[in-house]
Structure 1
Amino acid sequence: MFSMSAWFHWIDLAGVAVFAISGTLMAHRKHMDGFGVVVLAAVTAIGGGTLRDMILDLPVFWVSDPSFFYVILLAAFVTILWLRFHSEFPLRYLLVADAFGLAFFNVMGLQKALQYGATPFVAIALGAMTGVFGGLIRDVICREIPLVLRGELYATACIIGGAAYVLATHLDIDSDITLLIALLTTLLVRLGAMRWYWHLPVFAAHEEDPNRD
């Protein structure tokens, strides 16, 4: 049987792998060279967790554990091999890979924040930050509008998943099931938003004034 810390480590590695795939797919879309692929895969995979650990004043998780870089390189290599035999790049693959990475990292950021004494509100914020920041860096580097700033629910999916985690914890649900609930909630909300264009309207629809400067 795996210990709880071992499960957390494997979930963290899974999140790194999925976001590395997301970064590699974006690098392919932007026709980057090998170095660009590695850089983009790495910043996408570890950017959010790095910011989380810095805010919590903890040692950055990848500094003492090279397994994260091995996973990044392996995920990038496998994705490159797959792309060698598939010339087309369906955008949905990037979005789906990003959704899985978002869910994994949201849960890990939330759990780690709670583990080190953060309040539930702060933990939910740090979970969302862990989930979105790597993709934000990726999109900025690639001069894309970041997914977190687009219409469909993105960071909101992390917040909903985080709220589900906190609620399940208060209901004394088994910790493994609580993690699964938060993971699936985040993932399903994000995938649902992609499929049915869920969003949070703020401003009333209006037409742009052509004479406006």
Structure 2
Amino acid sequence: MTTSTALLLADLTGVAVFAASGASAAVAKRLDLFGVVFVGFVAALGGGIFRDLAIGEVPPLAFADWRYAATAALTATAVFWLHPQLARLRTTVLVLDAAGLGLFTVTGTIKALDAGVPPAGAGVIGMLTAIGGGLGRDLLTGEIPVVLRREIYAVAALVGAVAVVVLNLLGQAGPVPLTLAAGLVFGLRLVALRRRWSAPVAALRPPRPGAPDAS
């Protein structure tokens, strides 16, 4: 299997799992079929559209290659009809989202590197590719985006993007090393969820007694 074929398969797999993640979140919010498919589409392809625009690939693959839109729409539709068989939707959403995070981190970083973006910029593009779909999903379903919460989310994608950049510099950008990099992001995200790891937040000082009300 060539690297380009492996990247295409990883990209389409990422589209499918993010579409399922978005559709599951939409089902949990009781959206209709169109709403479920639309949220699944945005979750699956939002990050990739940003990536392609950032590296100057116009039109983005989401619109130029029918397989991307078809994969997202079919997956979201399947989730809509099969959701009664999906136990514990919240757990399903989190696992699928972690899988998509890992896959999109890898493909986004590699595509940026192949387009001639310097390593640091490619890592940032890879991270934004991974978190863009989840950001759109959360906004459309009325949730505070995961990337803005205390949870380890964007940091996991950034770690994976750095790993891909390092592997590329070492000449180890084959399917197996890249799969391991995606697994690193996936595992880090799931472990962070299970152990409740979080980034620090600013400490708010309580108002002083007798201080005027700021409101």
| Common topology (TM > 0.5) | yes
| 1:200 counterpart SS class | coil
Deviations 1:48-72 (A, max 9, x none): 0001111111120122211112211
2:163 maps to 1:175: no
Question: How far does residue 117 in structure 1 lie from its aligned partner after superposition?
Answer: 0.4
Distance in structure 2 (CA, Å) of the matches to 1:112 and 1:131: 13
Aligned length: 210
Question: How far does residue 20 in structure 1 lie from its aligned partner after superposition?
Answer: 0.4
Q: Which letter does structure 2 place at the counterpart of 1:172?
A: G
2:67 maps to 1:67: yes
Given the superposition, is the C-alpha separation of residues 190 and 72 from structure 1 closer, same or farther in structure 2, using an over 3 Å criterion? same
Identity %, equivalent residues: 35
Q: Where in structure 2 are the equivalents of 1:135-174 lying within 5 Å?
A: 135-173=134-172
Q: Which letter does structure 2 place at the counterpart of 1:166?
A: V
The TM-score with structure 1 as length reference comes to: 0.91
Q: Which letter does structure 1 place at the counterpart of 2:67?
A: S
- Contact 1:165–1:181 (Cα < 8 Å) also in 2: no
Q: Where in structure 2 are the equivalents of 1:43-122 lying within 5 Å?
A: 43-59=42-58, 60-85=60-85, 89-122=88-121
Q: Which residue of the partner structure matches residue 23 of structure 2?
A: 24
Question: How far does residue 206 in structure 1 lie from its aligned partner after superposition?
Answer: 4.4
Given the superposition, is the C-alpha separation of residues 208 and 68 from structure 1 closer, same or farther in structure 2, using an over 3 Å criterion? farther
Distance in structure 2 (CA, Å) of the matches to 1:207 and 1:85: 47
- Contact 1:161–1:186 (Cα < 8 Å) also in 2: yes
Distance in structure 2 (CA, Å) of the matches to 1:18 and 1:208: 43
Q: Which residue of the partner structure matches residue 191 of structure 1?
A: 190
Distance in structure 1 (CA, Å) of the matches to 2:168 and 2:63: 30
Q: Which letter does structure 2 place at the counterpart of 1:161?
A: G
Distance in structure 2 (CA, Å) of the matches to 1:200 and 1:84: 35
- Contact 2:19–2:41 (Cα < 8 Å) also in 1: yes
Structure 1 unaligned blocks of 5 or more = none
Given the superposition, is the C-alpha separation of residues 83 and 202 from structure 1 closer, same or farther in structure 2, using an over 3 Å criterion? closer
- Contact 2:150–2:201 (Cα < 8 Å) also in 1: no
| 2:63 counterpart SS class | coil
Question: How far does residue 172 in structure 1 lie from its aligned partner after superposition?
Answer: 3.2
Deviation larger for 10-19 or 72-81: 72-81
- Contact 2:37–2:77 (Cα < 8 Å) also in 1: no
Question: How far does residue 138 in structure 1 lie from its aligned partner after superposition?
Answer: 1.2
Given the superposition, is the C-alpha separation of residues 170 and 18 from structure 1 closer, same or farther in structure 2, using an over 3 Å criterion? same
- Contact 1:127–1:162 (Cα < 8 Å) also in 2: yes
Question: How far does residue 176 in structure 1 lie from its aligned partner after superposition?
Answer: 2.0
The TM-score with structure 2 as length reference comes to: 0.90
- Contact 1:148–1:154 (Cα < 8 Å) also in 2: yes
Question: How far does residue 144 in structure 1 lie from its aligned partner after superposition?
Answer: 0.5
RMSD value, Cα: 1.8
Question: How far does residue 208 in structure 1 lie from its aligned partner after superposition?
Answer: 4.6
| 1:32 counterpart SS class | coil
Distance in structure 1 (CA, Å) of the matches to 2:107 and 2:14: 9
Deviations 1:11-36 (A, max 9, x none): 11000000000111011111111111
| 2:175 counterpart SS class | helix
